[in-house]
Chains A and B, each alone.
Chain A
C-alpha cells in the first residue's frame, strides 16, 4: 500500500505571498491531520479533516486554512506568509473511524519544507 504523499517537498516563498500544500492519504484512510514543525515550537497540530469536514483545530491564526476533498486528499493554505511560517509541514492520515473508539494511529508523510524569505 502506498504511503502518505505530500507535494511539493520543498518550497520557497516571499513574505506576503500565499501557498498551498497538498497531501494524499493512504488509500482507505478518511482522516487527514496537519502539523507544523519548527525548531522553536516543535510539532504543533494545525487541524484535522474527516469526510471533508474540519473536525478539530489547533491554535493557529486564520491565515492557516485547509480543506479535504471527496477522495480524502487534503490541501492546506497559508495566506499572507510571514517569516515565522518557515517550517516543515507534515500531513498524517488515519482511518479516523466515526462512532465508537477512534484509535488514531497516524501515518505521516515526508513533509513539505517551506521557506519564507
Chain B
C-alpha cells in the first residue's frame, strides 16, 4: 500500500534559520510522482514541486531545495534563510503514474508539518 510519513508534526525556528522538512514514502510501484504543497492559514494548498521517480536530481528554487533519495524513499524539503511568510503547514504527497484511464489523479498525503517561523 502507498503511504507517506512526515514524522515532524511541528517545527519552530527563528527567522533566517535553515529548516528541513522530512518526508518518507512507501510504494510498490516503480513509477510514481512526489509532490510538496504549502497550506497557509487561508487553507488553499499551494503547489511547490513535482518529482517523478526516474529523476533523482535535486532541485533548487530560490530559498527552497528538495533532496530526493530513492534508496531511502525520502523526499526532503529544505528552506534556507527562513522567513515569517514561510509559516504554514507543508504536505508531502505521492501519486502513481497512470496510463490512459488507470489509477491516477489520487494523491496520498502525509499528515503535514506545521512550520512556525518566529521573527
Q: Which residues of A contact B (CB under 8 A)?
A: 31, 33, 35, 42-45, 48, 50, 53, 55-56, 58, 88, 90, 92, 94, 96, 98-111, 113
B119 at the interface (CB under 8 A from A): no
Contact B104 A56 (CB under 8 A): yes
Size of interface on B: residues with Cβ below 8 Å to A: 29
Give the docked Cα–Cα distance between A44 and B52 (Å).
21
Q: Which A-chain residue is minimally distant from B110 (CB atoms)?
A: A42
Interface positions of B (Cβ within 8 A of A) = 33, 35, 37, 42-47, 50, 52, 91, 93, 95, 97-101, 103-112
Cβ contact within 8 Å between A94 and B105: yes
Please state if A48 and B106 are interface contacts (CB–CB under 8 Å): yes
Residues in A whose Cβ lies below 8 Å from that of B45: 90, 92, 108
Q: A35-B109, A106-B105 are in contact. List 5 more A-B contacts (CB 8 A).
A: A48-B105, A88-B43, A92-B107, A94-B105, A104-B50
